[in-house]
């Protein structure tokens, strides 16, 4: 009959039902074992010392054994140092390749916020809006750097350092001071033979931490002028004056200033060798107490020392124009901006290991690396803050 077509005899029913049950249990057991094995495997890949102490030690500077490809992007000021670090770390641990890119601090912050890079580099700390929008994002201080003001003036040899202050610089970039022999510049440099040459004011076209530092200095020294009308940031609207020029990256600022007679430019100190090779002059800048200084290890450290105690645990602090008699006014912490969550646990461990090595005075912060870029190492108190932040990196 039709309705018996698919009904089997009782005996085969029981047997097949039992078979189904056995098969299902076996399958479930197999899947459970596989799942635990997988999860266990991932956890096992992370080194045992993942609950490491905050201070950099040889233990937590060792990255995982897996072959990893980490990416770094951002500040062109930190880029020369990162190139040295990446090459040295790869020699130490050939399984870890760090790809550095010099794209500007704005890109470093941006890519770290959106999680498309492992380490973002920035001369500027994170804004409160970014910290609120991406909870868990960190800016970790790695070193102390400074910014020069360079110029290319006819008849002024590189051995003579022009004295400039915030008011004059703001006047130049706003277009009020147009020639090198303007009375304001002459007043600061009475004994220098300044030519009647047009000033060409170079600024950064990309979103830049150097722009942040320079505009911070101009805002701090001209609170009612530049500070009110233009302010500071990685990307500001420079006044449109006839003699302005935009360049991309610190490298572009160096080549642009070298090729433009009469130029003035703000360039990071890691390019000192290049500016000297291009015979660009370096300015003495006036600090808050009225003294003129060049960025040297002594003046940088003096200026930074005034801020160590005020540095908060998240290390977001401007070091520009602190009160220090012997200090150079434009200095900053160099930051590694870490995304709220690294793509996976293994990469997070590798990033932590690398950063511990970077702030270690016997590792990345040794004079052999920092002297090449004219940076200063972090003092122990700040290094401890950095290590505490490194420990919080999640994967």
Partner 1 sequence: MTLVTGQHIGAKAHGPLPRLSSAARRLSSAAQRAVLEGTWFRYLTGTAALLPALALVGIVVLLATKAWPAMVVNGIGFLGRSAWQPGSTYGAAVRTDGVLHPTGSDYGALPLIVGTLASSGLAVLFAVPLSVGAALAVVEKLPRRASQLVGMFLELLAGIPSVVFGLWGTLSFGPVLARDVYPVIARHVPDVPVLRFLRGDPGYGEGLLTAGLVLAVMIVPIVAATTRDLLRQVPDLQKQGAVALGMNDWEVARKVSTRWVRAGIIGASVLGLARALGETMAVAMVSGSLLGTMPLNLYGKMGTVASTIVQQLDGAFSDGTGFEVRTLAELALVLAVITLLTNVGARLLVRKVATTALPVGRGI
Partner 2 sequence: MKEPSELVEQPLDLYGRPSWGRRLASVAGWGACGLATMLVAAPLVWVVYGVVARAVPHWHWSVLTTTTSAVGGGLANEVVGTLLITAGVVVLAGTVGVCSGIYLSEYSKGRVGTLLRSCSEVLAGIPSIVLGYVGYIALVIGMHWQFSLLAALITLSVLTVPYIAKTTESALRQVPTAYREGAEALGMSQMRTMTRITLKTAVPGVTTGLLVAVAISLGETAPLLYTAGFSDNVPSLALTHSPVAYLTYAVWTFYNQPSATFQQLSYDAALVLVVLVLVLILASRAVVARSQRYSDVSL
Contact stretch for partner 2 (CB under 8 A) within 51-59, 97-105, 323-331, 351-359: 97-105
The pair of structure tokens assigned to 46 is 């992370």
Beta carbon nearer to partner 1, 54 or 260: 260
Contact stretch for partner 2 (CB under 8 A) within 112-120, 156-164, 320-328, 370-378: 112-120
Beta carbon nearer to partner 2, 271 or 333: 271
Task: HSE, CB side, 13 Å, CA atoms: give it for residue 268.
Answer: 32
Pairing of strands 163-164, 284-286: parallel
**β-strand partners of 141:** 335
Contact stretch for partner 1 (CB under 8 A) within 16-24, 100-108, 164-172, 176-184: 100-108
Length of the chain, in residues: 395
Q: How many CB atoms lie within 10 A of CB 6?
A: 6
Q: Which does 127 bind (CB under 5 to 8 A by kind): partner 2, partner 1, none?
A: partner 1
Fill in the per-residue mask, 271 to 300: x = in contact with partner 2 (CB under 8 A), - = not in contact: x--x--------------------------
Q: How far is CA 59 from CA 53, 55, 63, 357, 360, in A?
A: 10, 10, 9, 10, 12
- Interatomic CA distance for residues 109 and 233, integer angstroms: 12
Beta carbon nearer to partner 2, 230 or 346: 346
Determine which residue in the list 11, 240, 309, 312 makes contact with partner 1, applying CB under 8 A.
240
Interaction of residue 136 with partner 2, rule CB under 8 A? no
Q: Measured from the CB of residue 234, what is the shortest distance to partner 1 in angstroms?
A: 6
What is residue 96's three-state secondary structure? strand
Interaction of residue 206 with partner 1, rule CB under 8 A? yes
Query: Which residues, including other chains, have CB under 8 Å from residue 232's CB and lie 6 or more apart?
Result: 212, 215, 216, 218, 219
**β-strand partners of 335:** 122, 141
Q: Which does 297 bind (CB under 5 to 8 A by kind): partner 1, partner 2, none?
A: none
Interaction of residue 252 with partner 2, rule CB under 8 A? yes
Distance of CA 372 to the CA centre of its chain: 17
Q: Measured from the CB of residue 100, what is the shortest distance to partner 2 in angstroms?
A: 5
Q: Which does 87 bind (CB under 5 to 8 A by kind): partner 1, partner 2, none?
A: partner 2
Q: Measured from the CB of residue 310, what is the shortest distance to partner 2 in angstroms?
A: 34
Q: How many CB atoms lie within 10 A of CB 293?
A: 22
Q: Which does 296 bind (CB under 5 to 8 A by kind): partner 1, partner 2, none?
A: none
DSSP code at position 346: H
Query: Which residues, including other chains, have CB under 8 Å from residue 256's CB and lie 6 or more apart?
Result: 202, 245, 247, 263, 265
Contacting partner 1 within 109-128 (CB under 8 A): 109-111, 113-114, 127-128
Contact stretch for partner 1 (CB under 8 A) within 2-10, 36-44, 233-241, 297-305: 233-241
Nearest to 214 by CA among 378, 252, 258, 222: 222
Interaction of residue 36 with partner 2, rule CB under 8 A? no
Task: HSE, CB side, 13 Å, CA atoms: give it for residue 73.
Answer: 17
Determine which residue in the list 87, 132, 259, 323 makes contact with partner 2, applying CB under 8 A.
87
The pair of structure tokens assigned to 78 is 């930190």
Nearest to 190 by CA among 152, 163, 221, 155: 163
Nearest to 269 by CA among 318, 209, 215, 326: 209
Beta carbon nearer to partner 1, 106 or 329: 106
Determine which residue in the list 60, 75, 76, 107 makes contact with partner 1, applying CB under 8 A.
107
Q: Which does 211 bind (CB under 5 to 8 A by kind): partner 1, partner 2, none?
A: none
- Interatomic CA distance for residues 94 and 34, integer angstroms: 32
Q: Measured from the CB of residue 230, what is the shortest distance to partner 2 in angstroms?
A: 27
Interaction of residue 44 with partner 1, rule CB under 8 A? no
Fill in the per-residue mask, 326 to 355: x = in contact with partner 2 (CB under 8 A), - = not in contact: -----------------x------------
Structure-token match 């980490």, residue found? 70
Buried b (16+ CB within 10 A) or exposed e, 22-41: eeeeeeeeeeeeeeeeeeee
Residues at the interface with partner 1 (CB under 8 A): 103-107, 109-111, 113-114, 127-134, 205-207, 231-237, 240, 242, 246, 248, 259
Residues at the interface with partner 2 (CB under 8 A): 69, 71, 82-84, 86-87, 90, 97-102, 114-116, 248-252, 254-255, 271, 274, 343
């Amino acid at each position: 009959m039709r309705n018996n077509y698919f009904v089997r005899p009782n005996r085969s029913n029981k047997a097949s039902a039992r078979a189904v049950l056995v098969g299902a249990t076996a399958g479930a057991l197999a899947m459970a074992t596989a799942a635990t094995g997988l999860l266990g495997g991932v956890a096992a890949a992370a080194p045992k010392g993942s609950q490491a102490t905050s201070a950099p030690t040889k233990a937590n500077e060792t990255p995982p054994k897996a072959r990893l490809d980490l990416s770094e992007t951002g500040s062109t000021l930190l880029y020369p140092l990162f190139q040295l670090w990446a090459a040295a770390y790869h020699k130490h641990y050939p399984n870890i390749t760090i790809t550095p890119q010099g794209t500007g601090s704005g890109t470093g912050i941006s890519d770290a916020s959106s999680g498309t890079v492992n380490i973002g580099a920035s001369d500027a700390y994170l804004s409160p809006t970014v910290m609120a929008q991406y909870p868990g994002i960190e800016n970790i201080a790695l070193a102390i750097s400074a910014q020069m003001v360079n110029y290319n003036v006819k008849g002024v040899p590189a051995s003579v350092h022009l004295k400039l202050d915030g008011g004059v610089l703001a006047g130049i970039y706003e277009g009020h001071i147009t020639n090198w022999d303007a009375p304001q510049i002459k007043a600061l440099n009475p004994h220098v033979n300044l030519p009647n040459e047009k000033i060409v004011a170079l600024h950064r076209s990309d979103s830049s931490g150097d722009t942040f530092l320079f505009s911070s200095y101009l805002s701090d020294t001209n609170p009612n002028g530049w500070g009110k009308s233009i302010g500071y940031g990685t990307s500001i609207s420079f006044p449109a004056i006839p003699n302005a020029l935009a360049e991309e990256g610190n490298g572009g600022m160096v080549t642009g200033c070298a090729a433009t007679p009469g130029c003035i430019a703000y360039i990071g100190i890691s390019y000192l060798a290049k500016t000297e090779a291009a015979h660009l002059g370096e300015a003495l800048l006036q600090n808050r107490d009225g003294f003129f200084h060049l960025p040297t290890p002594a003046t940088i450290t003096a200026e930074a020392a005034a801020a160590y105690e005020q540095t908060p645990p998240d290390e977001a602090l401007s070091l520009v124009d602190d009160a220090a008699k012997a200090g150079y006014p434009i200095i900053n912490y160099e930051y590694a901006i870490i995304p709220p969550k690294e793509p996976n646990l293994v990469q997070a461990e590798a990033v932590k290991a690398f950063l511990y090595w970077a702030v270690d005075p016997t590792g990345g912060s040794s004079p052999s690396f920092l002297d090449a870029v004219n940076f200063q190492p972090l003092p122990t108190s700040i290094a401890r803050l950095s290590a505490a932040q490194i420990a919080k990196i999640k994967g």
